[in-house]
Homo-oligomer: A and B are copies of this chain.
Amino acid sequence: EIFQAWQALQISPISQPYWQGQRLLISAGPTFEDLDPVRFLGNRSSGKMGFAIAEQAQKMGAKVTLIAGPVTLATPFNVHRIDVRSAQQMFAAVQAHYAQNAVFISAAAVADFALAQSSQHKIKKQPGQDGLTLQLVKNPDIVAWVAAQSDKPFVVGFAAETQNVLEYARAKLHAKKLDMICANQVGENLGFEREQNQLTLLSAQHEKILPTSTKSEQAQQLLAFIAEQQTSIKA
């Protein structure tokens, strides 16, 4: 209880005024790339991190648009939700909305690759067929695309890795010209499809290691960090 009060004190003075009325675009969840009406190539992601950010930002007064991949989560109160399935659909939704938002948080686990060809009907296994070869093609890099626009918002990416997560995150921050990146260690009881998370927040100038906690608490800290970055840039 004392810790929660301390947290509230730490976050509120900076982030509450910053987020009040701020327009925030969030992508969340996985994308599924259909091979046929039955089979798909998917990414493991419950969408919980992105949904937690949406919920917390709305509570801080932000006007939130949430572009969600295929997940089974309820829409947070007073959040505008757009459902998509594939990376191409998510890209189209982001393209349509990024320019009206001050901040874009790309929390979705977008598939790097889609099927080169998708069939309208279920592909039948042939008798005696022992294998199958799938040809994949690269999906659009949504977060890099937004970061490259002249009218880009403040762009926050995620790097989810099973190993060398900070190293990959720093490289991704620079290569994609993001304003900020959240390094997400994926592993035992952490990250994808879990309740607890452990993010490290990185910008060109700052680095903040968050203690392991619930995704709601990580979301609060993340939103506070964005507010600090944005306030210091403008100051």
> Does A1 sit at the interface, judged by CB under 8 A?
no
Tell me if A41 and B44 are in contact (CB < 8 A): no
Q: A103 at the A/B interface (Cβ < 8 Å)? A: no
Which of B44, B121, B132, B136 is A163 in contact with, Cβ under 8 Å?
B121
Known: A40-B44, A109-B38. A130 touches B138 (CB 8 A): yes
Q: Can you name 12 extra interface pairs (CB under 8 A) apart from A39-B41, A122-B161, A131-B138?
A: A35-B41, A38-B109, A39-B44, A40-B43, A42-B42, A112-B132, A113-B132, A122-B160, A122-B163, A124-B168, A132-B136, A133-B136
Is A129's CB under 8 angstroms from B134's CB? no
Identical chains in the assembly:
2
Chain A contact-residue range equals 35 or more
Q: Is the CB of B133 within 8 A of A133?
A: yes
Tell yes or no: A234 within 8 A of B by CB.
no
Interface string of A25-58 (1 = CB under 8 A from B): 0000000100101111111100000000000000
> Which among B38, B109, B111, B161 is the interface contact of A43 at CB below 8 angstroms?
B38
> Looking across the interface, which residue of chain B has its beta carbon closest to that of A72?
B72
Which residues of B are found within 8 Å of A43, using beta-carbon distances?
Answer: 38-40
Tell whether A205 is near chain B: CB-to-CB under 8 Å: no
What's the least CB distance linking A168 to chain B, in Å? Answer: 8
Chain A, range 74-121, C-beta contacts under 8 Å to B: 109, 111-113, 116, 120-121
Q: Does A135 contact B (CB under 8 A)?
A: yes
Q: A116: nearest residue on chain B (CB-CB)? A: B131
A134 to B, closest residue via Cβ: B134
- Interface 1/0s, chain A 150-169, versus B by CB < 8 A? 00000000001111000010
Do A112 and B134 have beta carbons less than 8 Å apart? no
Q: State whether the Cβ of A60 lies closer than 8 Å to any Cβ in chain B.
A: no
- Tell me the minimal C-beta distance from A182 to chain B in angstroms: 16
Contact of A122 with B162 in the complex, beta carbons under 8 Å: yes
Is A125 an interface residue when CB atoms closer than 8 A count as contact?
Answer: yes
